[in-house]
């Protein structure tokens, strides 16, 4: 009898624990909403070659920007794109 009572108590404790876990899972599942997926497919280029191409492109653009800024300051010229942006605003 003692062994049966101990076994029953252990199972009862486990039952309550797993019942609480199941209830939490059920409540969490109520928060899940329907999500409409798009049918459009966009190809993503990945890998080291693509990263290298992006790095070189960014470096080229930053060098061009630096040259433009230093040229503008040397000659006292203003950037026409920036001036046009100011006029639009």
At 17-41, the pLDDT tens digits run 999 999 999 999 999 998 888 888 8
Q: Give yes or no for a contact between 79 and 72, defined as CB atoms under 8 angstroms apart.
A: yes
Q: Give yes or no for a contact between 72 and 78, defined as CB atoms under 8 angstroms apart.
A: yes
Give the residue with greater pLDDT, 50 vs 74.
50
Mean pLDDT, range 41-60, rounded to an integer = 86
**In the numeric block, which tokens belong to residue 4?**
């049966």
Which residues does 71 contact at the CB level (< 8 Å), separation at least 6?
Answer: 77
- Top-ranked range on mean pLDDT: pick from 6-10, 38-42, 84-88: 6-10
pLDDT tier, 14 (very low <50, low <70, confident <90, very high otherwise): very high
């Amino acid at each position: 009898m003692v062994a049966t009572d101990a076994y029953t108590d252990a199972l009862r404790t486990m039952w309550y624990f797993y019942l609480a876990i199941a209830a939490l899972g059920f409540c969490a599942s109520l928060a899940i909403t329907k999500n409409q997926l798009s049918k459009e497919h966009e190809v993503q280029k990945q890998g080291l070659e693509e990263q290298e191409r992006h790095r070189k492109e960014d470096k080229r653009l930053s060098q061009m920007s630096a040259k433009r800024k230093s040229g503008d300051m040397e000659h006292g010229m203003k950037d026409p794109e920036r001036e046009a942006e100011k006029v639009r605003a």
